[in-house]
Amino acid sequence: MIEKRCFTIGNKKNNYVLCYKDLCKKFSRRPLEEIVQKSGAKYDAEKNMFTLKYFNREYLISYPEGSITLKDFNHNDLSYESDTVMDKILIMSYLCRCTKSGLTNKWVPYREIEGVGCTYDFFAGHGIDKLTKYFGNRDELFLKAGKKLDAKKLCLGDMSLQFNIFPNVPVVLVLWLADEEFEAQANIFFDSSASKEIHIEDLASLCSKAVDELIRCAKQVENF
Contact by Cβ (8 Å): 120, 208 = no
pLDDT in the model for residue 114:
84
pLDDT in the model for residue 26:
98
Read off the amino acid at residue 87.
D
pLDDT in the model for residue 115:
85
SS3 per residue for the chain:
CCCCCCCCCCCHHHHHHHHHHHHHHHHHHCCHHHHHHHHCCEEECCCCEEEEEECCEEEEEECCCCCEEEHHHCCCECCCCHHHHHHHHHHHHHHHHCCCCCCCCCEEEHHHCCCCHHHHHHHHHHHHHHHHHHHCCCHHHHHHHHHHCCCEEECCCCEEEEEEEECCEEEEEEEECCCCCCCCEEEEEEECCHHHCCCHHHHHHHHHHHHHHHHHHHHHHHHC
pLDDT in the model for residue 72:
81
Contact by Cβ (8 Å): 177, 137 = yes
Positions of the chain with pLDDT under 70: 1-11, 73-83
29 burial (CB, 10 Å; 0-12 / 13-18 / 19+) is exposed
- Residue 195 to residue 202: CA distance in whole angstroms: 9
pLDDT in the model for residue 117:
86
- Residue 108 to residue 29: CA distance in whole angstroms: 32
Contact by Cβ (8 Å): 194, 175 = no
pLDDT in the model for residue 83:
57
pLDDT in the model for residue 8:
42
